[in-house]
């Protein structure tokens, strides 16, 4: 999300972990955190909340369960945003994304019920970590225990 507060305008980009608002804002937040810049951290969180308020309907969030571009990645990012900020709305989005992932399951789909959304021309896409069942499965398993969650987040570049 690009915000021009003086003009009251903004432009929304897809809400993906990769190439989207939330991955970028998480990077900004962590950068401000590293720099110990409380004003910057508050700004980054306010932009996350502003983006959150716009909603998640297409084309803002294109359907898909993957880590890079879909609900699995958003679930993990919002879990991290909640963990860093304590803002309850972020925990609610995390829970909603996981529930949506469960609802996306289709026993008729190959690849354990979670056929990929992007790059279907590649045979390996549906097995891959970032776009396929491996990452989606880890996102779902992250609710099982703190140990699994921490391993998953570390592998997904979200380690503290």
Mean pLDDT across the chain: 78
Q: Is 160 among the domain residues?
A: no
What's residue 40's pLDDT?
92
Per-residue CA distances from 150 to 7, 41, 74, 82 (Å): 41, 23, 16, 15
Q: Is 46 among the domain residues?
A: yes
Name the token pair of 21: 């608002």
What's residue 56's pLDDT?
66
Q: Is 76 among the domain residues?
A: yes
What's residue 37's pLDDT?
95
Percentages helix, strand, coil for the chain (3-state, rounded to 5) are: 55, 5, 45
Q: What is the pLDDT of residues 133-151, one digit of tens each?
A: 888 888 888 777 777 777 7
Q: What is the pLDDT of residues 76-134, one digit of tens each?
A: 888 888 888 999 999 998 888 888 888 888 888 777 777 777 777 777 877 787 888 88
Per-residue CA distances from 152 to 1, 13, 33, 97 (Å): 27, 26, 22, 16
Q: How many CB atoms lie within 10 A of CB 155?
A: 12
Per-residue CA distances from 129 to 5, 41, 80, 113 (Å): 38, 30, 19, 15
What's residue 156's pLDDT?
62
Q: Please tell me which residue, 79 or 60, carries the higher pLDDT value.
A: 79
Q: Is 75 among the domain residues?
A: yes
Confidence of residue 14 (pLDDT cuts 50, 70, 90): low
Structural domain count, the chain = 1
Helix (H) or strand (E) holding 87: none
Can you tell me the distance from the alpha carbon of 2 to that of 151, in angstroms, rounded to the nearest whole number?
32
Which stretch of 32-41, 48-57, 111-120, 148-157 has the lowest confidence by average pLDDT? 148-157
| Average pLDDT estimate for 10-30 | 74
What's residue 88's pLDDT?
93
Q: Is 106 among the domain residues?
A: yes
What's residue 86's pLDDT?
93
**CATH number of the structural domain spanning residue 14:** 1.50.10.20
Q: Is 103 among the domain residues?
A: yes
Name the token pair of 90: 């972020």
Residue 95, class by beta-carbon neighbours within 10 Å (0-12 exposed, 13-18 middle, 19+ buried)? middle
Looking at the chain, the whole-number percentage of residues with pLDDT higher than 90 is 9
Query: Domain range spanning residue 111?
Result: 2-155
Cβ atoms of 148 and 160 within 8 Å: the answer is no
């Amino acid at each position: 999300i690009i915000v021009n507060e003086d003009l009251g305008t903004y432009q929304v980009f897809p809400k993906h972990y990769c190439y989207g608002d939330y991955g970028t804002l998480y990077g900004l937040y962590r950068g401000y955190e590293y720099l110990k810049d409380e004003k910057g951290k508050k700004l980054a969180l306010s932009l996350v909340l502003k983006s959150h308020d716009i909603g998640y309907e297409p084309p803002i969030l294109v359907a898909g369960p993957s880590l890079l571009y879909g609900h699995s990645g958003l679930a993990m990012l919002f879990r991290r945003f909640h963990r860093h900020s304590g803002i309850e709305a972020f925990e609610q989005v995390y829970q909603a994304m996981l529930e949506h992932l469960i609802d996306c399951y289709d026993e008729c789909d190959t690849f354990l019920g979670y056929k990929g959304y992007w790059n279907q021309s590649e045979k390996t896409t549906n097995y891959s970590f970032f776009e396929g069942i491996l990452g989606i499965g880890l996102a779902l398993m992250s609710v099982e225990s703190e140990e699994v969650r921490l391993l998953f987040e570390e592998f997904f570049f979200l380690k503290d």
